[in-house]
Amino acid sequence: MPSRGTGAGTRIPRVLAIAGSDPSGGAGIQADLKSIAAHGGYGMAAITALTAQNTRGVTAVHVPPADFLARQLDAISDDITVDAVKIGMLGDSGVIAAVRDWLAKVRPAVVVLDPVMVATSGDRLLQESAEAALRDLLPLAHLVTPNLAELAMLLNEDVQETWPQALEQGRRLAAATGTVVLVKGGHLRGAGCPDALVGLPGALSAEVVEVPGERVDTRNSHGTGCSLSSAMATIQARAGNWEESLREAKPWLAGALAASDTLEVGSGNGPVHHFHHVAVPPMPGAFTAQLREDAEAELEEIYGLEFIGGLVSGSLPEDQFAYYLAQDALYLNGYSRVLARASALAPTEEGQLFWAASAQQCLEVESELHRSWLSTRTVRPGLGPVTKAYVDHLTAASASGSYGVLAAAVLPCFWLYAEAGRTLHARFVAAGEPADHPYAEWLRTYADEDFAAATRRAIGLVDAAAQAAGETERAAMAEAFRQSCRLEVEFFDAPRLHA
Ligand SMILES: Nc1ncnc2c1ncn2[C@@H]1O[C@H](COP(=O)(O)OP(=O)(O)OP(=O)(O)O)[C@@H](O)[C@H]1O
Ligand SMILES: Cc1ncc(CO)c(N)n1
């Protein structure tokens, strides 16, 4: 019967999986629903059988009365337009008859039949006595997706081990059933893992349309067949072209196999990662916690600098301190402009206010530096090399077009300064706050609680930006942050080198 096999144009295809349940979530309807969702479909499931299985194998199968499956199917089609159907595990001939009757009545636009007989683990999922009934069901499908063993069984032939022989079998099955056959190379030996669509003349752009693929080196192949057939049904409902559907589904499945290790599900043949292509935003606080961990080395370096040691003990040569203050004033002026840009780009009013207030505060600190520290000292004017490199880096971040990158770039000046200030002040206090210490006043200002509070708010804003960002932007944020941390270290070391 089926001449169409296209449901092209449906925006969110309503896709029904008629299949068995795999409670471990890797195969069966659980895989089908994930695969349908991963391809933008609305998934439905009429359950043919319950299995007790995990990644190691199937321990029990329960097939409910076929009448009840018929009730499920009618409940769906009485109310809902079904754009595509994917058929998986059927269990026995009673179930097959119920599905056949329903297909003949409803005639869905797209029917993909995965002739499931044996699980990846080797356990039977279709009674041997039902194999003939399954063969009779094939002409009601638009696409059949057998693996090599299923292909041979459907033709009553031996299992083929070479790809050309398998394609020949595909041709024979297409001729016998009138449906398009997807011959799958998953069980071939060798580095390649091709799939091919085989159809009667006129059904496809060629009699055999092969889509090559590399073999992914993993044992996590549980549910690949289910996932592929559901993907094909969903994409076909949208695109109306089997070749296009396979060209989209196959690389997705290869990605799902390649990312399967990240799931860590079970100790046998694990499932594939259906949503490997969807970026998951970090948990609140996780991004900045990682930044802080990354910054630990720089912070330790700062504590070990000669300049910092001299600043705490009071032995720092005056000319180095003066150089530092003069460069800090220059830096703060540039930093203020960059913070004003962060305010302009901030996605929330809270962020806008915070960065604007910080920009203003920077200018106030700068003028205070000139008034109380620099007015009594002779300093060489001019932008030092590190100051220039740091301001250039911040300016580049502000021109990057990414608010997240800019916010991450300005963060170390808050964060490392607040941490270093607190630690240095604690050391000064531990030394008994000597009255004749030349830098006592400076050490006291940087342990300020207001500055620590502002730092916490800056961290929160960067974290929020990271959650809103995509993976690429987050990586750029981390890089901008690390670069600023490096420059913080160099800034404290600059007086020793350039004063
Ligand atoms: N190691 C692999 N690397 C890349 N693709 C693979 C790999 N194993 C299987 N595939 C792909 O997975 C899909 C399913 O193929 P396979 O021949 O394994 O079917 P199956 O035996 O029905 O699957 P299942 O393991 O779910 O029973 C095909 O597109 C195949 O090319
Ligand atoms: C329920 C179910 N359907 C299909 C397969 C084939 O992978 C499986 N293992 N379990």
pLDDT at 186: 93
pLDDT tens, position by position, 4-19: 455 555 589 999 999 9
Q: In this structure, which ligand is nearest to the CA of 25? A: 2
* Claim to verify: residue 463 and residue 415 sit in the same structural domain: yes
Q: What's the CATH code of the domain at 74?
A: 3.40.1190.20
Ligand 1 atom nearest the C-alpha of 215 is 3
Domain count, the chain: 2
Q: Is residue 1 part of a domain?
A: no
pTM for the model stands at 0.74
* Claim to verify: residue 312 and residue 423 sit in the same structural domain: yes
Measure Cα distances from 202 to 37, 207, 236, 283 in Å.
31, 8, 18, 52
Given a cut of 80, whether residue 404 has pLDDT beyond it is: yes
**19: which 2 tokens?**
């299949």
Instruction: Specify the residue with its C-alpha closest to ligand 1, atom 30.
Output: 186
How far apart (Å, rounded) are the C-alpha atoms in residues 214 and 251?
10
Given a cut of 50, whether residue 1 has pLDDT beyond it is: no
* Claim to verify: residue 94 and residue 233 sit in the same structural domain: yes
User: Which of these, 199, 221, 197, lies nearest to 209 by C-alpha position?
Assistant: 197
pLDDT tens, position by position, 40-82: 999 999 999 999 999 999 999 999 999 999 999 999 999 999 9
Q: State in Å: Cα 221 to ligand 1 middle.
A: 7
Q: State in Å: Cα 27 to ligand 2 middle.
A: 5
| 53 Cβ neighbours under 8 A, 6+ residues apart | 22, 23, 24, 27, 59, 119, 121, 123
Phi, psi (deg, nearest 5) at residue 265: -110, 110
Q: State in Å: Cα 136 to ligand 1 middle.
A: 25
Given a cut of 80, whether residue 374 has pLDDT beyond it is: no
Given a cut of 50, whether residue 483 has pLDDT beyond it is: yes
Given a cut of 70, whether residue 128 has pLDDT beyond it is: yes
Q: Tell me the average pLDDT across 462-489.
A: 96
Instruction: Specify the residue with its C-alpha closest to ligand 2, atom 9.
Output: 119
Q: State in Å: Cα 385 to ligand 2 middle.
A: 65
Residue 468: domain span: 286-498
Q: Tell me the average pLDDT across 185-202.
A: 94
Cα 287 versus chain centre, distance:
15
Residue with tokens 């090599």: 148
Q: Is residue 5 part of a domain?
A: no
Percent of the chain with pLDDT over 90: 82
pLDDT band at 3 (very low <50, low <70, confident <90, very high): very low
pLDDT at 9: 57
* Claim to verify: residue 243 and residue 374 sit in the same structural domain: no
* Claim to verify: residue 60 and residue 181 sit in the same structural domain: yes
Positive or negative CA dihedral for 473, 479, 481, 487? negative
Q: In one letter, which amino acid is 443?
A: L
Q: How is 426-446 classified by DSSP, letter by letter? A: HHHHHTT--TT-TTHHHHHHT
Q: Is the CB of 228 under 6 A from ligand 1?
A: yes
* Claim to verify: residue 329 and residue 435 sit in the same structural domain: yes
pLDDT tens, position by position, 232-280: 999 999 999 999 999 999 999 999 999 999 999 999 999 999 999 998 8
pLDDT at 184: 97
Q: State in Å: Cα 81 to ligand 2 middle.
A: 26
Q: Is the CB of 213 under 6 A from ligand 1?
A: yes
Strands 208-211 and 42-54: unpaired
Task: Return the number of other C-beta atoms located less than 10 Å from residue 23's C-beta.
Answer: 12
Q: Is residue 7 part of a domain?
A: no
- Show the ligand 2 pocket: residues with CB < 6 angstroms: 19-22, 27-28, 51, 88-89, 116, 119-120, 125, 223, 225-226
* Claim to verify: residue 184 and residue 327 sit in the same structural domain: no
Given a cut of 70, whether residue 2 has pLDDT beyond it is: no
Q: Is residue 354 part of a domain?
A: yes
Q: Tell me the average pLDDT across 323-330.
A: 92
* Claim to verify: residue 124 and residue 237 sit in the same structural domain: yes
Q: In this structure, which ligand is nearest to the CA of 210? A: 1
Last residue within a domain, chosen from 202, 232, 263: 263
Last residue within a domain, chosen from 263, 295, 312: 263
How far apart (Å, rounded) are the C-alpha atoms in residues 247 and 489?
51
> Exposed/middle/buried for 62, CB within 10 Å: 0-12, 13-18, 19+?
exposed
Q: What sections of 192-316 are H helices per DSSP? A: 224-239, 242-258, 286-304, 306-313
How far apart (Å, rounded) are the C-alpha atoms in residues 431 and 425?
10
* Claim to verify: residue 237 and residue 293 sit in the same structural domain: no
Q: Is the CB of 125 under 6 A from ligand 1?
A: no
Question: Are 184 and 205 in contact, with CB atoms under 8 Å apart?
Answer: no
Q: Is the CB of 120 under 6 A from ligand 1?
A: yes
**For the chain, what percentages of helix, strand and coil (3-state, to nearest 5) are there?**
60, 10, 30
Q: Is the CB of 195 under 6 A from ligand 1?
A: yes
Q: In this structure, which ligand is nearest to the CA of 227? A: 1
Q: Is the CB of 225 under 6 A from ligand 1?
A: yes
Given a cut of 80, whether residue 329 has pLDDT beyond it is: yes
Q: Is residue 2 part of a domain?
A: no
pLDDT at 7: 53
* Claim to verify: residue 252 and residue 291 sit in the same structural domain: no
| ipTM surpasses 0.90 | yes
Q: State in Å: Cα 48 to ligand 1 middle.
A: 23
Q: State in Å: Cα 208 to ligand 2 middle.
A: 27
Q: What's the CATH code of the domain at 420?
A: 1.20.910.10
Given a cut of 70, whether residue 23 has pLDDT beyond it is: yes
How far apart (Å, rounded) are the C-alpha atoms in residues 417 and 19?
60
Q: Is the CB of 314 under 6 A from ligand 1?
A: no
Among 221, 222, 242, residue to substitute to test ligand 1 (most atoms within 8 Å of Cβ): 221
Last residue within a domain, chosen from 263, 294, 311: 263
Among 113, 126, 169, 184, residue to substitute to test ligand 1 (most atoms within 8 Å of Cβ): 184
Average pLDDT, the chain: 93
Q: State in Å: Cα 223 to ligand 2 middle.
A: 6
Q: Is residue 228 part of a domain?
A: yes
Q: Is residue 421 part of a domain?
A: yes
Given a cut of 50, whether residue 499 has pLDDT beyond it is: yes
* Claim to verify: residue 97 and residue 179 sit in the same structural domain: yes
Q: Is residue 4 part of a domain?
A: no
How far apart (Å, rounded) are the C-alpha atoms in residues 497 and 492?
10
Q: How is 187-220 classified by DSSP, letter by letter? A: T--SSB--EEEE-STTTSSSSEEEE--BPP--S-
Among 87, 226, 257, 272, residue to substitute to test ligand 2 (most atoms within 8 Å of Cβ): 226
